[in-house]
Amino acid sequence: MSRLIVVSNRVSAPKDPAAGSAGGLAMALSAALRKYDGLWFGWSGETVEHFTGELKTEDRAGVTVATVDLEPQDVDEYYNGYANKTLWPLFHHRIDLTAYERSYGEGYERTNRRFAEVLQPLLQPDDVIWIHDYHMIPMARDLRRLGVKNRIGFFLHTPWPARQLLVTLPHHRRLVKSMFHFDLLGFQTREWMELFQRYVEVEAKGVVRPGGRVEAFDRSVQLGVFPIGIDVDGFLAARDSLLGQKTYDRIAASAAFRSMIVGVDRLDYSKGLEQRLLGYEQFLEDNPSMRGDVFLLQVTPISRDDVDTYQDIRARLDALAGRINGAYADMDWQPIRYLNRTFRRDQLAGIYRAARVGLVTPLRDGMNLVAKEYVAAQDPEDPGVLILSRFAGAAEQMGEALLVNPFSREELSDAIRKALTMPLEERIRKWKALMQVVRDTDVAHWRDQFVRALLAES
Ligand code: G6P
């Protein structure tokens, strides 16, 4: 088939796939791309004083990667600004944290234009272009202005927000209108897609056709739901690797027969980390006899640290973890092991396998691949239990998890107790159902379904 050109802000195909850290877009794309002839294009993560558009091309683990450097002003206004201070909080329903700065919007438009101008000369007529995530919403419009006629699809890794919140964004119509230059718009869940449809009907006076086509702004675009998955076999191989097994053994030894609960999340306010720690504290409070027999390993790599809201949440979590440990720890037991670092993929797989409970409780999340990785890593004969927020995209597929409302401390506390005391038979039954979903909708399935739907568009 034709080449697949993947475009995303963050391009990080690890040289050694086992070395990649936590889930998310970059890991999924590198797994998805390894089997395709094509190119992965995006920001290098580096800055240069004046934008040149010069491409750096390299082969990483069988994937050709082409990146450009951005100017510091682009990084401030486009990445830290519009992407991470405006769209990210807005799409996660945190309008209290959303910055509405005109200069951010201008930097976002400028940087998207730059990406389009650098990509356009690389394109061949039958290339299929697949653009990812909220950083690059207007890019199809910019490519069309440069005369690009290729199929262009878009996949949103985050939630799409409710219309009532989206309209707080100045120029929201302009942003949504630009999406009608794609041939296909993909969402993680039916819920996010329906919110998009509702916006089109109400704000753009558009029409939603049966079968998922929407018409507005004198154009039309096909919509679809494509839940992202993980590279199951790659993850199992990582779990069973020497380092995966060593990590498992190391944890088992240090746990000294205590049950481990695990959480792995970027340090982000959308992940519900404060609520999670408070829920765990409630559990300790409600179940004095279980204290000392359990501990929480919370792995939380620092993320987007140039943005003040991220610095704030970091400080609050430091204080909260410290307070809970100070209040409950004993001379030979600490309730929370809180780590601001990343682990290799094979180590993470070993960690998940050693955990009796996986605690995945975001307040709002596009999908959440940690939930799927946790399930994949379990021992089929003695699996752990997944506690999953009903507000994660993954909940639409993973109804056999213990679904919780992460805003309620008491509900979190009850779920932790239930997970820790669940009989083996029930754990196995739930795990089998969840593992089936994880296998059936793996990352290759996601990629193939999307590309097939994009090719079907004319
Ligand atoms: C989320 C976004 C991705 C992003 C990732 C890490 O998963 O949907 O687009 O790459 O977070 O964030 P960062 O800002 O470090 O790329």
Judge whether residue 22 has pLDDT over 70. no
For residue 226, how far is its CA from the centre of ligand 1 (angstroms)? 18
Helices (H) and strands (E) in the chain, counts: 17, 16
Instruction: Looking at the CA of residue 157, tell me the nearest atom of ligand 1.
Output: 8
State mean pLDDT over 106-116.
98
pLDDT of 16 reads: 63
Residues designated catalytic = 157, 365
Give the model confidence (pLDDT) of 326-366 as tens digits. 999 999 999 999 999 999 999 999 999 999 999 999 999 99
Instruction: Read off the pLDDT band of 1 (50, 70, 90).
Output: low
For residue 383, how far is its CA from the centre of ligand 1 (angstroms)? 30
For residue 256, how far is its CA from the centre of ligand 1 (angstroms)? 36
d(CA 446, CA 228): 5
H helices of 287-383, in order, are 308-328, 345-354, 369-377
Nearest-CA residue for ligand 1 atom 7 is: 24
Q: What residues contact residue 112 under an 8 Å CB cut-off, 6+ apart? A: 78, 136, 137, 138, 139, 142
For residue 439, how far is its CA from the centre of ligand 1 (angstroms)? 24
Residue 268 near residue 303, CB atoms below 8 Å: yes
- What integer best gives the mean pLDDT of the chain? 95
Amino acid sitting at position 300: T
Judge whether residue 269 has pLDDT over 60. yes
DSSP 87-130: IHHHHTT-TTS----HHHHHHHHHHHHHHHHHHGGG--TT-EEE
Give the model confidence (pLDDT) of 36-77 as tens digits. 788 999 999 999 999 999 999 998 877 899 999 999 999 999
Which residues line the pocket of ligand 1, CB cutoff 6 A? Answer: 10, 24-26, 133, 157-158, 303-304
pLDDT of 18 reads: 63
Give the model confidence (pLDDT) of 301-317 as tens digits. 999 999 999 999 999 99
Nearest-CA residue for ligand 1 atom 11 is: 24
Judge whether residue 24 has pLDDT over 70. no
For residue 424, how far is its CA from the centre of ligand 1 (angstroms)? 36
Instruction: Looking at the CA of residue 158, tell me the nearest atom of ligand 1.
Output: 8
Instruction: Looking at the CA of residue 24, tell me the nearest atom of ligand 1.
Output: 7
Span between the terminal Cα atoms of the chain, in Å:
16
Nearest-CA residue for ligand 1 atom 4 is: 25
* Percent of the chain residues topping a pLDDT of 70: 97
Nearest-CA residue for ligand 1 atom 3 is: 25
Give the model confidence (pLDDT) of 148-191 as tens digits. 999 999 999 999 999 999 999 999 999 999 999 999 999 999 99
Nearest-CA residue for ligand 1 atom 14 is: 304
